[in-house]
């Protein structure tokens, strides 16, 4: 089914389709959260927050999802969980200062983060296949030596130069996009 079908169901509160979303996607999200310092209740909270966030955003702006709905939802959940972990880490490591962030502000920041990621992935698709391959390996923290082995390049120096040029091109594409200014760090 198309992603817009699921997004419309979230907006309308279609319980049958929402149950289907739970049945197909929740287990993967729960597994990820439990493997990353969470528990079942955390997974349920994050999943609910992600569905709510997607529904509200789709109601406001009819956006399109270029991947599968399940993959997109999982990414939203991962981003929300990482934000939760960062908030917890800041509270624990900085016990002198307690920063209270309102839930609407937190949701807004998560939405901006999601839009940044969408812009980045869109622009990543706009660069050459060669750059896409090199940067995908680089971002996956593959060593330069391994990148040399997986590509036609003959030295780590050449790979470093290629990574630099590809990152520069990707940065230019992102910065030249009209959405960039509204998504910059606040």
Separation between Cα atoms, residue 24 and residue 72, nearest integer Å: 13
Taking each continuous run of H as one helix and of E as one strand, the counts in the chain are 9, 0
The rounded Cα 76 to chain-centroid distance in angstroms is: 6
72, 65 contact by CB (below 8 A): yes
- CA atoms of 44 and 26, how far apart (whole Å): 8
pTM above 0.85, yes or no: no
* Residue-wise pLDDT tens digits, 52-69: 888 888 888 888 888 888
Res 109 pLDDT > 50: yes
CB 131 within 8 A of CB 167: no
- The runs of H, that is alpha helices, within the chain are 3-12, 15-35, 40-60, 69-93, 103-126, 129-139, 144-150, 156-175, 180-183
Q: What is the pLDDT of residues 119-178, one digit of tens each?
A: 787 888 889 999 888 888 888 888 889 989 888 888 989 989 998 999 899 888 888 888
Burial of 78 (C-beta count, 10 Å sphere; 0-12/13-18/19+): middle
Going from N- to C-terminal start, the domains of the chain cover 1-118, 127-186
pLDDT at 94: 47
């Amino acid at each position: 089914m198309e992603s817009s079908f699921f997004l419309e169901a979230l907006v309308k509160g279609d319980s049958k389709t929402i149950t289907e979303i739970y049945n197909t996607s929740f287990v993967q999200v729960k597994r990820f959260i439990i493997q990353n310092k969470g528990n079942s209740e955390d997974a349920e909270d994050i999943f609910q927050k992600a569905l709510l966030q997607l529904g509200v955003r789709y109601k406001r702006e009819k956006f399109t999802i270029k991947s599968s709905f399940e993959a997109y939802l999982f990414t939203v959940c991962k981003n929300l969980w990482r934000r939760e972990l960062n908030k917890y880490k800041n509270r624990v490591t900085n016990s002198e200062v307690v920063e209270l962030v309102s839930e609407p502000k937190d949701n807004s920041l998560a939405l901006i983060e999601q839009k940044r990621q969408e812009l980045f992935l869109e622009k990543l698709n706009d660069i050459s296949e060669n750059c896409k391959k090199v940067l995908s390996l680089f971002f996956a923290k593959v060593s330069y030596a391994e990148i040399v082995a997986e590509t036609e390049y003959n030295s780590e120096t050449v790979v470093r130069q290629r990574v630099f040029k590809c990152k520069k091109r990707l940065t230019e594409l992102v910065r030249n996009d009209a959405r960039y200014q509204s998504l910059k760090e606040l």
